């Protein structure tokens, strides 16, 4: 199936929320721009992933739905697939790394999915899921490298352009690339002049800029607080789309991510997970040299490990 955002939006009606786009003056001051935040942390299951997962599973044939689905995830895709499968009456199996935050594991189980813990990193969980898929003849739901997934995620771009037609820049977190691919295509179809900026953690930046192109370069190690974007290999489909539609990719440090999380909570009264604040971290740390522009940052998820949150709060209270 080709990428189709309007068709995806119709399927998602009543399932995915149209999330708010808000302006907080404190971030205008910090960034030097008019900053608007697209709050996907308020989405069903706590992250944008429900859009792609539900769109994908709803498009499966009756025979495929009978087989059941399987996915690999560090948390947000797991919950989205589990929730969508339950709503569509499809059996779901999810493989998650052993170090996944306990609340994410429990939330996935609560959506009636079978959860298997395997490996330390996403890539190991992914390989295990593919083995189980082949053995049990299940349908694999990829977290990002799939046109139906990209179509679902791209509905965010449609909403942004309707909520703020005069948008100049959109900052988007990058893990595997499904979110930024969808948003970039959808928004540029409406406003070709818009600039799309990808944001990666410094310690998990698997996409590099070389000779004017974005290339995949596997990091020596992936160790970042932003576990939702800790992907060694972006997708083939998504990397091609990123090269075609994304204007620039920047990185943010672990300290910048932590500061953005605490600042959003303290000054904006919104809780977001580390991967969810990458765009905000890039904007308030002025990673792109722009001023007085209408800038949107996608807050991609809010499934925060409360133990980590307590540690961060204690750290900042000591300062």
Phi, psi (rounded to 5 degrees) for 96: -125, 145
278 burial (CB, 10 Å; 0-12 / 13-18 / 19+) is buried
The residues near 133 (Cβ < 8 Å, ≥ 6 apart) are: 70, 139, 140
Q: What is the DSSP letter of 201?
A: E
Cα–Cα distance for residue pair 172/40, rounded to 1 Å: 12
Cα–Cα distance for residue pair 316/121, rounded to 1 Å: 28
Crossing angle between the packed helical segments 155-163 and 178-190, to the nearest 10 degrees: 40
Active site residues: 49, 300
Cα–Cα distance for residue pair 259/280, rounded to 1 Å: 10
C-beta of residue 157 within 8 angstroms of C-beta of residue 183: yes
C-beta of residue 228 within 8 angstroms of C-beta of residue 75: yes
Cα–Cα distance for residue pair 262/240, rounded to 1 Å: 34
The residues near 17 (Cβ < 8 Å, ≥ 6 apart) are: 42, 43, 44
At 193, list the tokens. Answer: 């002049």
Tell me the C-alpha to C-alpha distance, in Å, between residue 143 and each of 52, 138, 182, 258, 307.
Answer: 8, 15, 13, 25, 26
At 165, list the tokens. Answer: 């037609």
């Amino acid at each position: 199936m080709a990428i189709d955002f309007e068709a995806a939006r119709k399927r998602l009606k009543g399932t995915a929320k149209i999330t708010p786009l808000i302006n907080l003056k404190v971030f205008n001051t910090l960034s030097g721009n008019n900053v608007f935040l697209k709050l996907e942390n308020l989405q069903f299951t706590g992250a944008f992933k429900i859009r792609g997962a539900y769109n994908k599973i709803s498009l499966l044939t009756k025979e495929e739905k009978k087989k059941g689905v399987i996915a690999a995830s560090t948390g947000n895709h797991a919950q989205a697939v589990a929730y969508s499968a339950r709503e569509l009456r499809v059996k779901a199996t999810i493989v998650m790394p052993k170090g996944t935050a306990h609340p994410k594991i429990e939330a996935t189980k609560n959506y009636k999915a079978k959860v298997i813990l395997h490996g330390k990193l996403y890539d190991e969980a992914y390989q295990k899921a593919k083995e189980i898929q082949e053995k049990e003849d299940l349908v694999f739901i990829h977290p990002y490298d799939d046109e139906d997934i990209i179509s679902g995620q791209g509905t965010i771009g449609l909403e942004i352009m309707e909520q703020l037609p005069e948008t100049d820049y959109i900052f988007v977190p990058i893990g595997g690339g499904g979110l930024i691919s969808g948003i970039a295509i959808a928004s540029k179809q409406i406003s070709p002049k818009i600039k799309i900026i990808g944001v990666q953690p410094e310690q998990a930046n698997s996409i590099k800029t070389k000779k004017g192109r974005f290339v995949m370069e596997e990091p020596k190690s992936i160790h970042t607080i932003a576990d939702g974007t800790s992907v060694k290999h972006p997708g083939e489909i998504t990397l091609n789309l990123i090269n075609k539609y994304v204007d620039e990719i920047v990185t943010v440090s672990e300290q910048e991510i932590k500061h953005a999380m605490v600042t959003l909570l303290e000054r904006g009264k919104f809780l977001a997970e580390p991967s969810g604040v990458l765009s905000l971290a890039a904007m308030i740390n002025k990673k792109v040299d722009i001023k007085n522009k209408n800038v949107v940052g996608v807050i991609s998820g809010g499934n925060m490990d409360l133990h980590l949150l307590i540690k961060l709060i204690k750290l900042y209270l000591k300062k």
